[in-house]
Amino acid sequence: MNETTNNVGGIAADRLRSIIERVERLEDERKALGADIRYVFTEAKCAGFDVKAIKQIIKLRKQEPAEVEEQETLVETYRRALGV
């Protein structure tokens, strides 16, 4: 291979190109996944589900149970303090 193709200014050009192309492919996949997720939320909304509530449930499921319980207790304490 041509030396200028592989190493330019101390940079391995082929390796750099490979990394950039992989990141670009992953970004394209992320966009596609985002579109898929939006479609599922649209489907949920059309089926009569509250999308905000679904997003909250998804957020809660990512947390540890003890963390969720602590957060719920704190919110309830604040609600009582404010008379809500």
pLDDT in tens, 29-56: 999 999 999 999 999 999 999 999 999 9
Does residue 2 register a pLDDT over 80? no
Express as a percent the part of the chain with pLDDT over 90: 86
DSSP state of 58: H
Which tops the pLDDT comparison, 77 or 11?
A: 77
Q: Residue 19 in contact with residue 11, Cβ under 8 Å?
A: no
Diameter over CA atoms, the chain: 75
Does residue 4 register a pLDDT over 70? no
Q: Residue 6 in contact with residue 12, Cβ under 8 Å?
A: yes
Question: What are the domain boundaries of the chain?
Answer: 1-49, 50-84
Check residue 3 and give its pLDDT: 47
What is the average pLDDT value for the chain, to the nearest integer? 92
**Going by DSSP bridges, is the β-strand pair 11-12/7-8 parallel, antiparallel, or unpaired?**
antiparallel
